[in-house]
Amino acid sequence: MTARRRAIRRRRRLPMRYLLPSLFLAALFAMLMMRGYVHNEIQPDHRIRILDDRRQVPREIHEGGPVIDARQPDKPVSLRVPDDKIVITFDDGPDPVWTPKVLDQLKKYDAHGVFFVTGAMTSRHPELVERMVEEGHEVGLHTFNHPDLSLQAQSRLDRELSQNQMALAGAAGVRTSFFRAPYSNFVRHLDNKNWNLVKSIGSRGYITAFNDTDSHDWRRQGVDTIIRNATPKAGKGAIVLMHDSGGDRSQTVAALGRFLPAMQDKGYEFTTLSKALNAPTAHTQVTGPELWKAKAFVYAVGISENITTVLVAGLSIVGVLVMGRFGLMLVLAFVHARKVRGRNFSWGAPVTEPVTVLVPAYNEKACIANTVRSLMSSDHPIEVIVIDDGSVDGTAVIVEAMRLPNVRVVRQENSGKPAALNNGIGHARYDIVVMMDGDTVFEPSTVRELVQPFGDPVVGAVAGNAKVGNRDSLIGAWQHIEYVMGFNLDRRMYDVLRCMPTIPGAVGAFRRTALERVGGMSEDTLAEDTDITMAIHRDGWKVVYAENARAWTEAPETVQQLWSQRYRWSYGTMQAIWKHRRSLVDKGPSGRFGRVGMPLVSLFMVVTPLLAPLIDVFLLYGLVFGPTGKTIAAWLGVLLLQGVCAAYAFRLDKEKMTYLISLPLQQLLYRQLMYAVLLQSWITALTGGRLRWQKLRRTGVVGAAPGAVPTQRRDRRRVA
């Protein structure tokens, strides 16, 4: 395949790494917007207008019945309920707790009524509206989001009605011609604006219902007084307003148990509004595309409700995990600091014998000279083997031209980093093998500090302290915080728990015997450093952390390079966890990693980062929909906790605190990129995709480690 065709294929594949996470986030955002809308959190309008001039309202309307048919605006008709009928109505529902109780009472006494439902509640609880229709009750519109319509434009009025109808159709498969406006009780209270609203509603084909008595009468007179004074011959029929959601819903259920049987004993019939008026039913069946569109809307609302429930549960889980992890890291980092700085702390007899340093290199001409020179300043006796993995940029030639003592170059065809390391192990002279990357530089004391734990014969591998050398850019500063806080604080925690999951490829040391027992570096995963570390744990060796063994590495300087690196790390870690999943059932000392380390690695490195975006999702949701103050306070609380952890980690690593100034920005921007990378890794893993090794472009900006001295002063420490 030509280079041009490979470039075209890369360009075609590139958008997929952004497309899938973007589609997922867009779908999540859409569901949250849907949820916010049906919960009246998007542009809520809770204003209630004070009644004013009523002179335009006809006298016969003010003094007429509670039902107004203004479908012919020039000839509005006022209607009353017959003397022996009572139309009991319920507003603002359906409510998942109280509406079923109301329906049960009506069914118990074979009574029927009218439920004026909101579209928001209908779409959230469609099964209750369906039950209303099936049990013979009528349903009317009460708008979608319950605003005072006299304050709204005609466009909002149309939207409230059409969406209320759509929710009703999706829930029960019907449309209705009955309507009751929010905040409207009696026709005698109609003012000019509300009268114009009634006529506007009528022109759209709706009959508007008010009421003769409402919940205020229940509280003012008492149910027993109303029952005692009511007789079907002496009085008149009525439309009675109650609430099955909001309002006095608890009083509604209590009152129905007394009101229904008592009024039935007096000869009243509880019926629907259509039957009371001797009119055709208000319901019209909905069929065809309109029905499917309505059902799709209700189904989407149901998904948004369930997703929100899942997200809230996930947020609770991630909150516990994040807080627990921070607390555990701080406590165990403190324990680790007390241990390694204790007066009697020792790994055993000092390790002074020579060691082999392996430097796998593929096209590292920009960095390799700095890397090898830093090793020449080591205060521990070493041999250096540079394994050139088929470089085409003259990497091997650069090393050979340096003509440094005890530095050998081993050439091989391009086979990948694990193969290069295994080749180097085969050429190593000494039992302790140090591994580093071709873009990393060591301090003079790094090798010595790194190998001292091998004084303990059960130590099989040692993790060093990898640090970002190019931290002057914003991305570099963010990665510096991540390395010090995220990686090294984690390693202190895992060190105390004796379940270190990863020896960093930039600075790590292995007992050669341990490597040979587990078969050397494996090519089964893209995270060969995590893979080999888990394998050594399972073979019964200890893996520890040497915090003073510092190595300075060149972190990616562009978003594209950073994405490539972290994508490989995340996916490789998942591969390693899956490969060593049987460590969960390992027995004896070698099973400690499976019992302790594997659950922690899975929780903190895979599950928690996957759920952590929920913190930011709910931050955005809270800022848009409220409560804004509490949302900001909660987010600042999490940020403060992270700041405490970061400050302590910087103190342990003896780093300048000034870099923490960019921590808030890192949490807002950099962390989102890491979320997207992990999400893409999950998608790749779940779809069975494969990810190739990716070589990052290096600049050689990390020239030397702090504290390095000229090579000549250290030559006497080289091994002959």
Q: Which residues carry out catalysis?
A: 91, 243
> Three-state DSSP class for 382?
strand
Dist CA 375 CA 68 (whole Å): 93
How many CB atoms neighbour CB 711 within 10 A? Answer: 17
Q: Which of 107, 178, 108 lies closest to 141, judged by CA?
A: 178
Q: Which of 608, 629, 621, 596 lies closest to 674, judged by CA?
A: 608
> Three-state DSSP class for 633?
helix
**SS3 letters across 443-501:** CCCHHHHHHHHHHCCCEEEEEEEEEECCCCCHHHHHHHHHHHHHHHHHHHHHHHHCCCC
Chain mean position to CA 394: 46
Contacts of 313 (CB under 8 A, 6+ apart): none
Chain mean position to CA 540: 37
How many CB atoms neighbour CB 347 within 10 A? Answer: 17
| Beta carbons of 260 and 101 less than 8 angstroms apart | no
Partners of 435 in the β-ladder: 358, 508
439-459 burial code (b ≥16 CB/10 A, e <16): bbbbbbbbbbbbbbbbeeeeb
| Beta carbons of 88 and 113 less than 8 angstroms apart | yes
428 φ, ψ (degrees, to nearest 5): -70, 145
| Beta carbons of 283 and 99 less than 8 angstroms apart | no
Contacts of 264 (CB under 8 A, 6+ apart): 109, 111, 270
Q: Which of 47, 79, 218 lies closest to 148, judged by CA?
A: 47
- How distant, in Å, are the alpha carbons of 329, 334, 648, 654 from that of 651? 14, 11, 5, 5
Upstream peptide bond of 710 is cis (omega within 30 degrees of 0)? no
